[in-house]
Structure 1
């Protein structure tokens, strides 16, 4: 039995699988990096909202400038692989407010920004929620055939600080 070309044949059979595996890992890493970018961008927008949130009554164009101007720009500043034009206000980029109720100690249902109520005022105990949805496609054609599109959705929220800060008083734990 002649084995002169056996190594070459085995390499020819294994090489495409190895290349496919490497490209699948690269595509997975790219999608994971896009997710991490969106997460960082949303958190940056929430940090901006925590510090610069308006606490008085505002007009609808002022709410739009805050939610879909300044906060959206903070999100876009962190993006590298994600297309910046993919974040479209109220289609793929949403800002919600969840007002806090002291009588029930719970949040009311979310209000989409800009609030339509004329007397809506954002209080310092309310929560700001940002949701981003982005669709991306794998780079490798064979993986595109298996998974033509990946939708990445990230939602995060932060509670606005009270104006007098957070109280860290004595512990309620009983002594020994």
Structure 2
């Protein structure tokens, strides 16, 4: 049988531990969101790389590769980068919980930087020339940068500007 003072002690202990439990719950929610976003982004970039190297009559353009990434990135807002065939910039300008997609040359490829369906073009402004991978074995790399912003104010203190996730997938053309 509990005395009246013991019940009050339990309430005080619960009041002391409740904020810590709520903090842990919110941290798990934010880390879970980050893990989901990263896994979804990685799968979408792989799908985009697969679509970039297809051959035959349906060779894709940059826009088709970006659409393939967007369709696979369920729940994420992605768009084509400004210079889609250039290497992804280190810190692109993005708003919270949005991302940019780039299609370019792989690390061991210095000749081509676009899927075979893209039309060749010279440099425009600060963007590099577009050199499609028409025949041969070339590496194409699809890169997505996504700015993750935590929901909870406590986690936002650790990442005040958000956290930029970068995912790349490189595959070889075999036309």
TM-score between the two structures when normalised by the length of structure 1: 0.69
Contact 2:78 2:101 in 1 (8 A): no
Question: Mind listing any 5+ residue stretches in structure 2 that lack a counterpart?
Answer: 84-91, 93-99, 115-119, 123-128
The answer for the alignment partner of 1:73 in structure 2 is: 67
TM-score between the two structures when normalised by the length of structure 2: 0.69
Matched, 1:160 2:154: no
* RMSD over equivalenced CA pairs, Å: 3.0
Question: Mind listing any 5+ residue stretches in structure 1 that lack a counterpart?
Answer: 57-64, 100-106, 164-176
The answer for the alignment partner of 2:11 in structure 1 is: 8
Matched, 1:95 2:90: no
Which of 43, 46, 60 is the equivalent residue of 1:43? 46
Which of 36, 44, 62 is the equivalent residue of 1:33? 36
**Alpha-carbon distance in 1 for matches of 2:70, 2:172:** 22
Count of residue pairs the alignment pairs up: 144
Structure 1 or 2, whichever has the larger Rg, is 1
Give CA deviations for 1:145-172 in whole Å, capped at 9, x if unaligned: 22221110001100122x4xxxxxxxxx
**Alpha-carbon distance in 1 for matches of 2:137, 2:50:** 15
